[in-house]
Amino acid sequence: MQKETLSKNQKIILDYIEKVNEPIKAYSILHNVQKKGIKAPLQVYRALDKLVEIGKIHKIESKNAFVACKNSNCQISKATAFSICESCEEVSEISDHKLSKYLKTFQEKTGMKFNKYNLEFFGLCKKCSIK
């Protein structure tokens, strides 16, 4: 799905999330797009649902926050994998071959068929661990 095919509200909200460039909460989004005519939580949540569904954004479950997908070619729209620095709050999307491979072997071993996963790694980023 291309950005051009998004609806009005979806576009407004994706634009804002991309601009912010870090995980942001639904009500914070709401406050910041009110000047664009979005008045109610539901308008935000509906757009968020759709944007998550098509892989344009991801939800950081442990933070109830949303972040734009950095992976222009994020195939697995239902998968998220992030590393999160507990000091500076920097969030990076993980796209790692070994992880994909591990997931595959795990799938084979457990007999479980995965269609979605949510991975969140917390720690200190390089910068912050030097300090």
Partner DNA sequence: TTATTTAATGTTATATTATAACAATTAACA
Partner DNA sequence: TGTTAATTGTTATAATATAACATTAAATAA
Q: Closest distance between a second copy and the C-beta of residue 37, in Å?
A: 31
DSSP string for 58-107: EEEGGGTEEEE---TT---TTEEEEEEETTT--EEE---HHHHHHHHHHH
Could you say which of Zn ion, DNA, a second copy, none residue 88 binds, taking C-beta under 5 to 8 angstroms by partner kind? Zn ion
Q: Closest distance between DNA and the C-beta of residue 66, in Å?
A: 8
Q: Closest distance between DNA and the C-beta of residue 38, in Å?
A: 6
Beta bridge mates, 66: 24, 59
- Which residues ranging from 82 to 111 are in contact with Zn ion (CB under 5 A)? 85, 87-88, 90
